[in-house]
Structure 1
């Protein structure tokens, strides 16, 4: 009976330790898709994705630009969500400085992440015009500033 009890404790502790391990690969390899299209210039957003890829706080990146207006969404590891506001502000400031931009919006809101992902897919398929991209970027920026 005592052996069984000790075995159960051992497995509980083992499972607890395995579950608490951090996934270092996710923090080192952020996922993003470079937009490659012939009819839309998304070179700036691709450069921003490359720039943010080296940041250890970022796991997923999406970005779309309409001229010099850029919206970026990021996802960060769960344990770093306590510093969410400071990470977002720092990245926004760094992007503005690095790429000499005035209008940059960095968001971690899931609603904005989904909207930007849809827009990226439409751009990739060439199913959207430049004017529609400008309207969508403006709409998503406005949406990201709303308080929920």
Structure 2
């Protein structure tokens, strides 16, 4: 009787392991559940990579934030972040502080700042699309502008 139950348990484990998928997991699939810490993305002009890295580092230095994504387009720079759970009551104040810090430190940049999870997820997906070879700079800029517009529509 006990061997019968062991056999059923073993068969179930074999069945479950056979159904598993060995494909690598993308950041966008886990972006809402864990910290992905995506690298900054530059769509059009690659010479601004140092500045974009510095922007990410400056925003990440805020203690109430735990995940930051930065995407630099032709005209705008999108800064998206996740707020730690206990600090979510102060999200407007945090966004105001981040915006103020960015405007003071980088006065020539045009920033769009958001703490929305959907915008964060779209920024991570855009990064993944840019990595693929069939996604042109024009498509990336168009998608970037759609994300920025979506951010502005949510306010």
Q: TM-score range by the shorter chain?
A: 0.5 to 0.7
Aligned length: 118
CA contact (8 A) 2:45 2:74 kept: no
CA RMSD of aligned residues (A): 2.5
CA contact (8 A) 1:70 1:137 kept: no
Structure 2 CA distance for partners of 1:65 and 1:56, relative to 1, 3 Å = same
What runs of 5+ residues in structure 2 fail to find an aligned partner?
1-34
Select which of 23, 29, 34 maps to 2:39: 34
Deviation string 1:53-97 (CA, Å, 9 cap, x unpaired) is 221111000110113410111001111011101111211221122
Per the TM alignment, residue 126 of structure 1 is displaced from its structure 2 partner at its CA by: 4.7
TM-score with structure 1 setting the length: 0.67
Q: Which runs of 4+ in 1 moved over 3 A?
A: 124-127
Select which of 97, 114, 122 maps to 1:115: 122
Deviation string 1:72-128 (CA, Å, 9 cap, x unpaired) is 110011110111011112112211221223421111111111111101122234543
Q: Secondary structure at the match of 1:59?
A: strand
TM-score with structure 2 setting the length: 0.65
